[in-house]
A and B are shown apart, each in its own frame.
Chain A
């Protein structure tokens, strides 16, 4: 089991426990402290860390058994792909031959054995990131830290690499922490999602639960849900459950809002509106309806939602979920 407590006044105040074999995806807006959490585990930022009963807090960075995949492409530019992956096992005391065997094995597993002799600048973004992940795993770490490993890659490359990483993470016996700002990472890779917001843990839970009942506007936006505060409750509903009209809707539903249209953009085979209606809300309408109603930015519209289409849940974290 790993236990991390990070308390950097004014920046991050978060704690986290994770079990071996677990993949925790850390999600949250920029500046929420996601990277700081990873850095604390690796010893690059201050924080209390213990892993499998071992106290890491006072260990130097090289003594901590972590594998770190950095956000920017951080392969050593003067070393070949093979030498990059060999570096870790060598630094941790393996013989040159043993380290190279380990490295070749990892390149093989990522399907890039034929690129072993290339230097980083001769690799594509996706290939370089595979080498970086192989390099992090080659030291047999207790904790694997991945800081936005797919950022800066083409969308198609991202998806292929995401699925591939998922396979490797299933076999990985240690704890994996992945920082992302992409909901799809959380949904495809996570056993558990940790939502950071303004340096605090806002929510922890299985990905399906976090996606269905987001507690922060950031996550709601990532999974494409409208999130409205209602007293001590939160209400989440999908944009296609929202009815758009020019006149105030009749009936007694409290679930109605009024405001100007912010943006109009195609979304799949529908038209997605962003309406500044007190809270910003998303609404999907058919293209025909959009034309008929003359929906353009600036137009004042009414939005309403059926109570049956809205999921309502407590705004506070339930006890025992590890949030603060």
Chain B
């Protein structure tokens, strides 16, 4: 099928579009070109980098787990149960989506910090621990996950839930035998989104959990520190995150698991 010939694209639209592409692509290309490839293995092998990599991997994985465990029921509730104040709950849940991450960090400190409203009554301390990192990551990633899964639950209509109910299934049976399997592609997409968001989290983490090598220093935090002391390391680490991000994008585009 050929595109109908409607004439040339006007320069008024073409030029800004090209500028936009350049704006998005050029910095990434220079990052790739300017990376000290020869010293890359050496940087990767250093203690501080390996620790940051491990903490990032672990915290993003735990964040995804937290999102699945907490976010799936919430998405189900928002998509399937007609309760009073549902719109309000959905709006509140989505606030972190548009909130500046550093504000999220301050909010977490206010609530769960050592002198926080809740934190001062806790027998243990959350800030400046891996738990704190995961908590901050979950705070900013959960809305992405809930949004993706709720969308999947809505498009994979409630009609199958009705069918299951007429067959005598209670809501839990319906959820795990019908709703969940049908929403699986959406759940995987939600995991990818949450993971990507967690991978790059910086503002909330550094505000709430600090930047201690070996305990709370993630890749983005290390990059921030390294940029002033050792720019080559910063560029190397950035390149790794860029590669991971592109990987997520590719997975998402393939829809990770297309429904069979």
For A62, the chain B residues whose CB sits under 8 A away are: 165-170
Contact B159 A74 (CB under 8 A): yes
Q: How far is the CA of A63 from the CA of B169 in the complex (A)?
A: 9
The size of the chain B interface, using a CB distance under 8 A, is 17
Which residues of the partner chain A approach B173 to less than 8 Å between Cβ atoms?
91
Q: Mark B142-179, 1 if CB is under 8 A from A, else 0.
A: 00000000000000000110111111111001000110
A78-B163 in contact given A91-B168, A139-B168 (Cβ < 8 Å): no
- Number of A residues whose C-beta is below 8 Å from B? 23
Q: Which residues of B contact A42 (CB under 8 A)?
A: 166
Residue among A67, A77, A87 making CB contact with B164, cutoff 8 Å: A87
A51 to chain B, nearest CB (A): 14
User: Who on chain B is nearest to A121 by CB?
Assistant: B260
Beyond A44-B162, A76-B160, 8 extra complex contacts between A and B, CB < 8 Å: A42-B166, A61-B162, A62-B167, A72-B159, A74-B163, A76-B178, A91-B169, A92-B167
Can you report 11 residue pairs joining A to B where beta carbons are below 8 Å apart?
Answer: A44-B166, A61-B162, A61-B165, A61-B166, A67-B166, A76-B164, A77-B182, A78-B181, A91-B167, A91-B173, A135-B167
Residue of A nearest to B161 (CB): A61
Residues of chain A at the chain B interface (Cβ within 8 Å): 42-44, 60-64, 66-68, 70, 72, 74, 76-78, 87-88, 91-92, 135, 139
Which B residues form the contact surface with A (CB < 8 A)?
Answer: 159-160, 162-170, 173, 177-178, 181-182, 259
- Residue pairs across A and B with CB atoms within 8 Å: the count is 52
- Report the Cα distance A77→B182, complex, angstroms: 8
Q: In the complex, what residues of A have CB within 8 A of residue B164's CB? A: 76, 87, 91
Q: When A68-B163, A74-B159, A76-B160 are in contact, do A88 and B168 touch as well, CB less than 8 Å?
A: yes
Residues in B neighbouring A92, C-beta threshold 8 A: 167-168
What A residues does B163 contact at CB under 8 A? 68, 70, 74, 76
Instruction: Return chain B residues, CB-CB under 8 Å to A139.
Output: 167-168
Please report whether the interface of chain B is mostly helix, strand, loop or mixed according to DSSP: helix
Once bound together, how far apart are the Cα atoms of A170 and B166, in whole Å?
A: 23
CA distance A88 to B163 in the complex (A): 10
State in angstroms the CA–CA spacing of A276 and B219 once bound together.
81
Cα A297 to Cα B182 with chains together (Å): 53
Q: Which residues of A contact B169 (CB under 8 A)?
A: 62, 87, 91
Minimum C-beta distance from B148 to chain A (A) = 19
Which of A44, A61, A64, A135 gathers the greatest number of chain B CB atoms within 10 Å?
A61
- Please name all residues of chain A whose beta carbon is closer than 8 Å to the beta carbon of B160 when the two chains form the complex: 74, 76
State how many angstroms separate the Cβ of B59 from the closest Cβ of chain A. Answer: 33
Q: Tell me which residues across on chain B come within 8 A of A72, comparing CB atoms.
A: 159
B residues near A68, Cβ cutoff 8 Å = 163, 166
Of all chain A residues, the one with the shortest Cβ separation from B180 is A78
Across chains A and B, which 10 residue pairs bring their CB atoms closest together, nearest first?
A91-B169, A88-B167, A61-B165, A68-B166, A92-B168, A91-B168, A78-B181, A74-B163, A62-B168, A62-B165
